[in-house]
Structure 1
Amino acid sequence: MSLVVVGASKNIARVAQSLSSEIVFVQQPGSLRPEVLRDDVDELFSFDYQDEPVARSFAERVLKPRRPAAVVSVTEHGLEPAAVMAEVLGTPAVPLAVVRAMRDKAGMRRLLAQRAPHLNVPFAAPGDGDTLEELFRSPYGVIAKPVSGTASSGILLLRAPAQAQALAAQGHYLFEAFAPGAEFSVESFSADGVHEIVAVAEKGTGAGFVETAHLMPPAALDASARARIEQATRELLDALGLRDGPAHTELKLHEGSIKVIETHNRPGGDGIADLVALTTGVDWRRVSIGWPLGQRPAPGAGAVAAAANVFFTASPGRVAAIADRPAALPGADVVAWEVDVAVGDLVGELRSSGDRVGMATVTGPSPEACQQAAADLRPDSIVTTEDAAS
């Protein structure tokens, strides 16, 4: 039986091909090169799968006769279409209502207010004008975020109600009281409502709340705090109704209080799956794609005690110079290095993950060693820019 994969990258395509003898790829037009396909084994269909009626029709007309074992996606914009197609086919999947509850940030807040209010923050969904005024009593300010945004794009910190009015009029912004504290992300796997914590990472952020580092395991969590983070994740997933499959959850810990930032029924991006593999031995991409086929996080040991992904940033301007990959760092190893710009390219403001200019992966004997190595890299100085007019 075949496996249908929605919105696959080149890497995800290869993982999927290792799981099933036949793959049906469903892609946005032009998003997957034909050479990735295996001759006479894989099929590729390209259309706007985010159009729900079109996705339902495709599942009925094209997929049903093929009788696939499952429809999966690990990309944010493919989660709902995969659930829609699975619903038509009756194959194992996270129910569409649960996927939507996790993707719709306002919907998630409403459910938490009912089922797990201790994990929630004060919020105002689109149309909640009276509540919006009250949020600005927070001494930390108010976060404005697109209801269905991704990649840290469009997130703003507001200090006065007047700043929120224009955004509120657009009707697709969620407003939340800013939650102070250290931020962590949790990779979990659920089976029949039992939530296994696969890994926990400590997150670093820069301007505009764009993620600049992930450290696994965290340096800032003792055993007691980690246990509370893990329990909060399980309570969240129960509240949202997730019973099966992977999840990536982001939370903040401040003075013993844990608040949920957001969650997704997919693995974390930003190379977090590589950190999971390095530190736990779990092939997180394989599990996340193959769970409807019986793939599970297998017990094992990681190759290293700790690892971190560090993202390079640069000031706006034209790239003038790029530093070489260091041969070594004190107490840590550089195992991956990628620069996404070349001399002469233009670099814009850091507004989303797509504005970062590269990354490195470091490994070491402890989280503290990786944390120090990341600082020693000086990731904001790998790419040097000059005035674009120069």
Structure 2
Amino acid sequence: MDAVGAGGGPEGDCPGTDGTPTLVIIGANPTVARAAETLPGTLIHVQRPGAPELDPGTRVLTVDFEDLPAFLAFTDEVLRPLRPTAVVSLTEFGLEPAALAARRLGVAGVDPAVVRTTRDKLEMRRVLEREAPHLNPAFAAGDDAAAVSRLFAAHGRVVAKPVDGVGSTAIALVDDLDALPADRRTAATLLEQFAEGREFSVEALSSEGRHTVIGIAEKGTTDGFVEVSHMMPPPSLDQGRQELVGRAVGELLDALGVTDGPSHTEVKVDGDKIIVIETHTRLGGDGIADLVRLTTGVDWRHAALGWAIDAGIRQAPATAAAAATVFLTASPGRVTAVAPRPVLARGDVHTWDLHVRPGAAVQPLRSSADRLGMAVLTAADTDSCAAAVAELTALPVVVTAPEPHL
């Protein structure tokens, strides 16, 4: 697998009927939409009713793209006459609609079968079992009682997760078969051997089957698997192991049939052993695109949208040697105090976004949606970045008083 800067596709426009491309983007948030404004050609956004408004002057069409029959009718009746060059999405629930629309219109986009495989965690495991078993943990479908029993007998600690889950929702570590609830013994649950080691996420861009690593971030998670930090470059991976991770991700993408477009892959690394946790045909969330821009100069959102119209990789000088996103959390209860933006000893607070105030209710941290805000930190090196993350994490930014019903 290549490193960033080694390629990324040819520069220039993909011509439409008037010599410029027309790109349809499904479900963009305002940040993605602003990044899209730097692309060549015509942009058309497709948004669900009630979605956050985009900047004035943005061309927006409205349809519930999660209602696939209605969306495919919309594709035929509304999008087809516009003669788009490509249809893409960077939001999880827009990935399959965008792929289906691109296939239906015969334009550039991700293969719908690939999207389905990456979004179905059990199917992804089955593909890897055939094509790259060394990247898989042991696993079982929740409704296969015999396989579930063998999994617990052989490995003890098992992770239970929804087959189609997102946002670290409803993931649990189960230590004993008897502790596995009945509602996890269904086809909707994937059970996996707990993988040891540190966790990393890998951003990559593929072009005609060639995979370029854009960046690798080291993840911090709670015991409940909710992500609370990302650091780039990864402090715990030397250059040799970064190359091992890149090769493993390339094997994964080849096995799944990913040939073009962005991907976000989560892996566990234990020595030289690499286990794939999951992958997505989009860039990573949680501000990872900002870490890529700060530490490599690559506008990752621009590249993750523009690949379909041959817009290339736009890269400026890096502005930070190391950067991190840190998610602010607090104990369940009622907020009694909120600290101001801090000054850190080993790093700088680049961005501060805290959206709770005194009196607000804080729920238990069960998924990404329960986090209270995010900071982006920059530092002079990876050691300083790790120290800044630890310093901010230890600060009582949000103070709560317990309430029995929360």
- On the 8 A contact 1:313/1:379 being kept in 2, the answer is no
Corresponding position of 2:139: 123
Residue 298 of structure 1: how far off its partner (Å): 4.0
- SS for the counterpart of 1:204 is strand
Q: Give distance in 2, aligned partners of 1:86 and 1:32.
A: 24
Higher relative contact order (CA 8 A, sep 6+): 2
Q: Give distance in 2, aligned partners of 1:270 and 1:376.
A: 20
Corresponding position of 2:39: 19
Is 2:70 aligned against 1:54?
A: yes
> 2:34 is matched by which residue type in structure 1?
R
Residue 65 of structure 1: how far off its partner (Å): 0.6
Q: 1:313 to 1:290 in 2, by over 3 A?
A: same
Corresponding position of 2:61: 44
Residue 375 of structure 1: how far off its partner (Å): 1.0
- On the 8 A contact 2:129/2:136 being kept in 1, the answer is yes
Residue 352 of structure 1: how far off its partner (Å): 0.4
Corresponding position of 1:377: 392
Q: Give distance in 1, aligned partners of 2:380 and 2:399.
A: 31
Of stretches 230-239 and 1-10 in structure 1, the one that deviates more from structure 2 is 1-10
Residues 97-246 of structure 1 aligned to structure 2 (within 5 Å): 97-139=113-155, 141-246=157-262
- On the 8 A contact 1:22/1:42 being kept in 2, the answer is no
Of stretches 7-16 and 80-89 in structure 1, the one that deviates more from structure 2 is 7-16
Q: 1:166 to 1:275 in 2, by over 3 A?
A: same
- SS for the counterpart of 2:224 is helix
- On the 8 A contact 2:137/2:192 being kept in 1, the answer is yes
Corresponding position of 2:24: 4
Q: Give distance in 2, aligned partners of 1:331 and 1:349.
A: 30
Corresponding position of 2:80: 64
- SS for the counterpart of 1:175 is strand
Residue 290 of structure 1: how far off its partner (Å): 1.3
Q: Give distance in 2, aligned partners of 1:355 and 1:29.
A: 24
Residue 293 (structure 2) aligned to one of 246, 270, 277: 277
Residue 120 of structure 1: how far off its partner (Å): 0.4
Corresponding position of 1:341: 356
Q: Give distance in 1, aligned partners of 2:185 and 2:366.
A: 22
Is 2:368 aligned against 1:353?
A: yes
Residues 66-105 of structure 1 aligned to structure 2 (within 5 Å): 66-105=82-121
Q: 1:73 to 1:11 in 2, by over 3 A?
A: same
> 1:121 is matched by which residue type in structure 2?
P
**Deviations 1:115-134 (CA, angstroms, capped at 9, x unpaired):** 00000011112432211111
Q: Give distance in 2, aligned partners of 1:31 and 1:123.
A: 37
> 1:36 is matched by which residue type in structure 2?
D
- On the 8 A contact 2:333/2:401 being kept in 1, the answer is yes
- SS for the counterpart of 1:150 is coil
Corresponding position of 1:28: 48
- On the 8 A contact 1:144/1:176 being kept in 2, the answer is yes
Of stretches 259-268 and 295-304 in structure 1, the one that deviates more from structure 2 is 295-304
**Deviations 1:183-235 (CA, angstroms, capped at 9, x unpaired):** 01100011110101111110000141000100000110112211111110111
Q: Give distance in 2, aligned partners of 1:387 and 1:133.
A: 39
> 2:63 is matched by which residue type in structure 1?
S
Of stretches 24-33 and 84-93 in structure 1, the one that deviates more from structure 2 is 24-33
- Count matched residues: 385
- SS for the counterpart of 1:373 is helix
- On the 8 A contact 2:143/2:186 being kept in 1, the answer is no
**Deviations 1:42-96 (CA, angstroms, capped at 9, x unpaired):** 132132x122222221111111111011111000110000001111111111100
Q: Give distance in 2, aligned partners of 1:389 and 1:54.
A: 45
- On the 8 A contact 2:96/2:112 being kept in 1, the answer is yes
Residue 287 (structure 1) aligned to one of 303, 306, 323: 303
- On the 8 A contact 1:313/1:381 being kept in 2, the answer is no
> 1:145 is matched by which residue type in structure 2?
K
Structure 1 residue ranges without an equivalent (≥5)? none
Corresponding position of 1:317: 333
Residue 299 of structure 1: how far off its partner (Å): 5.3
- On the 8 A contact 2:90/2:283 being kept in 1, the answer is yes
Residue 152 of structure 1: how far off its partner (Å): 0.4
**Deviations 1:334-387 (CA, angstroms, capped at 9, x unpaired):** 111111211100000000011011111111111110110111113562100002
Q: Give distance in 2, aligned partners of 1:255 and 1:331.
A: 29
> 1:30 is matched by which residue type in structure 2?
G
Q: Give distance in 2, aligned partners of 1:83 and 1:362.
A: 35
- SS for the counterpart of 1:378 is helix
Q: Give distance in 2, aligned partners of 1:170 and 1:127.
A: 4
Normalising to structure 2: TM-score of the pair? Answer: 0.91
Identity among equivalent positions (%) equals 46
Residue 165 of structure 1: how far off its partner (Å): 4.8
> 2:33 is matched by which residue type in structure 1?
A
CA root-mean-square deviation: 1.7
**Deviations 1:231-274 (CA, angstroms, capped at 9, x unpaired):** 10111000001001110000001132110000001000000000
Corresponding position of 1:362: 377
Of stretches 138-147 and 219-228 in structure 1, the one that deviates more from structure 2 is 138-147
Q: Give distance in 2, aligned partners of 1:77 and 1:338.
A: 25
